[in-house]
Amino acid sequence: MNKTTTGNPAISAVTRVVAFTLSVGLLTWLAWPMICWLGWVFRYPKDDMGHGWLVPIFSAYLLWMRRRELREAVGAPSWIGAALCLPGVLLLWLGERGGQVRLSQASVYWLLWCLTYAFWGRGVARLTAFPVIYLLFTVPLAFLDVFTVRLRMLTAMLSSGLLNGIGVPVARVGTGLRSLAGAGFSLDVADPCSGLRSIFAMTAITAAYAYLTQRRLWQKWLLFACSVPLAIVGNMARIFTIALVAKYCGQDAGTGFYHDYSGYLVFVVGTLLMVQVGAWISRLDTSAPHPPDTAPDVPAAPAAPSGARAYLSMFGVPLLLLSTGLLLHGMPSPVIEPQDFLASRLPDSLGALRGAQPWYCRNEQCLSWIEDPADSADPAKPPTCPQCHQPLYETSLGEHTVLPADTLFLKRNYYDPMGGVFRVTVVVNGASRQSIHRPELCLPTQGFYMERTEIVALPLSDSGSLDVKLVDVRRGGPGGRSRAMGQAYFFLSARHATASHYVRILTSVRDRAFANRVTRWAMVTITADAPFDTTERREALRVFVDELLKGLRVTDDRRGLPDDGPQDGVTGAAHDR
């Protein structure tokens, strides 16, 4: 074996290739569950991720296109690249143990880039940065659903302004558009029409186009930044044309055939605008292009890597990946927490509020429900549905069939003497995190559409406070006899209270990954017949929530919890915001 001038044995090119191949193989082994899940997501029509198959193909094409530059950029192994694998392994641990596949995706892509850095040097890492970052367009969009309501409101506002501007009178109610001329039409910019998916696809297309057509880095970024407004304009054009078709050809034509196939219009408009904006941005660079090299320099062969740092890159990285995989496969499954931080049932009454158990029919041909069985023969348990005479249940057909079997439910309606009602639903997750879904995702499927969301802090009688998410909704189509309603929801566990869906998710990931436990969360939803948009309404909600928590949350079970310091939640100022 050759010796370097320092006396350390040089690592041969074959050893480096073998070690790199071994590391990539180990990373594939670690990522295999994520790869299988991603293949399922790409095939699932509801996620609209069919373009995901093209993303890795385009990344591979970019690497092939720059293969000569990659060969010339090969340098000595980098211990910095090897060190950067450590946060990637930590993120992979959080994703795999925490049950969050998107974290696993991000960690795998990060580790893939770190491997090129560790084995082939900084120059190769620089050239592979964009192809690897581009793989992030394979990440499913559900975690960005917080933006859908705002996008729906924006699209409805822009479309209504354009329609009124050309002489088609419409009224916008939240995310709905209603014609003011005769029978007209009634449209709702629902969640699939928010434009979020088209924004994601347009950003992927624009990123690729900018990388291939723009010379300067600032030009690439400028064109990429334009992808979001371009997609919004394309989506607005779609809603605008749907409204026109509905007006002149009828509601069924606009919301039927044309609606189903007008999604392509978003990309036609967006792509044409992208090309034009790209041409404008290209003209902003007035500097002369660099003359082509008449005789390209032939780079000198890189020095043979040697020394302790080179060995760290060659053998430390695959050893780290192997040990991580063995630990992940050898650890026991997380243990689910008990549900004993909550009462087994909701209080029968709260002060002057009378409680009643709602009942639901699961007959698909009926699906009726009884909100207040006080006038029935047996208020404690109505025997049959008054419509189809089938048995009644405490949960609806959708809750019974869609949510996991170990999901727990507590339901009760509370009526005040003046006829007002607070409808309370408590959903407690089981082993699967699919038990709890955000109301912003479930409401549209139940016939509601949203107008506004807000997080407020409700002071409680114990001098603490609780963050609550308020949602203004309407039932049925916009305008007409639709009625504004209000919802408030928050999440409770034995240790935490929060109104943030993301805080709940990250807390669960932390507990699964490092405490080996599945945090038991209860989503408490309160629905009223009027929004919580006034001081009086919010004060009524505060009083109700204060009384509800006293009857719902068990406080004498904390002796079964480990003493891990002050607990977040309703015992003090809310920390999980």
Per-residue pLDDT tens digits for 253-276? 766 767 666 767 777 888 888 888
Identify the band that residue 116 occupies on the pLDDT scale cut at 50, 70 and 90. Answer: very high
Which amino acid is present at 297?
D
pLDDT at 178 over 90: no
Identify the band that residue 126 occupies on the pLDDT scale cut at 50, 70 and 90. Answer: very high
Greatest mean pLDDT among 109-113, 142-146, 295-299: 109-113
* Range in 108-122, 312-326, 422-436, 554-568 with the lowest mean pLDDT: 554-568
pLDDT of res. 331: 87
d(Cα 425, Cα 352) in Å, to the nearest integer? 20
pLDDT at 530 over 80: yes
pLDDT at 173 over 90: no
Which two structure tokens, joined as six digits, stand for 311?
């060995």
Mean pLDDT value of segment 278-285: 85
User: How does the average pLDDT of the chain come out, rounded?
Assistant: 79
pLDDT at 429 over 60: yes
Mean pLDDT value of segment 303-328: 77
d(Cα 455, Cα 459) in Å, to the nearest integer? 13
Angle at CA of residue 425, ends 421 and 427, nearest 5° = 175
pLDDT of res. 196: 65
Please give the helix or strand (H or E) that residue 194 lies within, else none: none
Report which DSSP code applies to 53.
Answer: G
pLDDT of res. 526: 92
pLDDT of res. 375: 55
- Comparison of pLDDT for 241 and 141, the residue scoring more: 241
pLDDT of res. 111: 95
* Range in 95-109, 126-140, 475-489 with the lowest mean pLDDT: 475-489
Please check whether residue 424 is in contact with residue 453, taking contact to mean a CB–CB distance below 8 angstroms. Answer: no
pLDDT at 518 over 70: yes
Mean pLDDT value of segment 529-552: 90
* Range in 349-353, 446-450, 494-498 with the lowest mean pLDDT: 446-450
Q: What is the DSSP string of 173-185?
A: ETTEEEE-SSS--
- Comparison of pLDDT for 150 and 32, the residue scoring more: 32
Q: Domain extents for the chain?
A: 13-140, 144-283, 335-358+394-556
Please give the helix or strand (H or E) that residue 393 lies within, else none: strand 392-393
Identify the band that residue 10 occupies on the pLDDT scale cut at 50, 70 and 90. Answer: low
pLDDT of res. 294: 39
Which amino acid is present at 199?
I
pLDDT of res. 117: 92
- Comparison of pLDDT for 333 and 379, the residue scoring more: 333
Q: Which residues contact 256 (CB under 8 A, 6 or more apart)?
A: none
pLDDT of res. 559: 36
pLDDT of res. 463: 67
pLDDT at 333 over 80: yes
pLDDT at 305 over 60: no
d(Cα 224, Cα 401) in Å, to the nearest integer? 42
Q: Which residues contact 354 (CB under 8 A, 6 or more apart)?
A: 374, 414, 415
pLDDT of res. 112: 94
d(Cα 463, Cα 518) in Å, to the nearest integer? 30
- Comparison of pLDDT for 452 and 26, the residue scoring more: 26
pLDDT at 322 over 80: yes
Identify the band that residue 380 occupies on the pLDDT scale cut at 50, 70 and 90. Answer: low
- Comparison of pLDDT for 484 and 31, the residue scoring more: 31
Q: Print burial letters for 537-565: b (CB count within 10 Å at least 16), e (below 16).
A: ebebbbebbbbbbeebbeeeeeeeeeeee
Helices (H) and strands (E) in the chain, counts: 19, 17
pLDDT of res. 482: 62
Neighbours of 25 (CB within 10 A): 12
Q: How far is CA 487 from each of CA 132, 154, 358, 473, rounded to the nearest angstrom?
A: 42, 22, 17, 7
- Comparison of pLDDT for 576 and 443, the residue scoring more: 443
Please check whether residue 241 is in contact with residue 254, taking contact to mean a CB–CB distance below 8 angstroms. Answer: no
Q: 546-574: per-residue pLDDT in tens?
A: 999 988 888 644 434 443 433 343 333 33
Identify the band that residue 59 occupies on the pLDDT scale cut at 50, 70 and 90. Answer: very high
Pairing, β 448-459 against β 369-370? unpaired
pLDDT of res. 158: 80
d(Cα 322, Cα 80) in Å, to the nearest integer? 20
Q: 129-139: per-residue pLDDT in tens?
A: 999 999 988 88
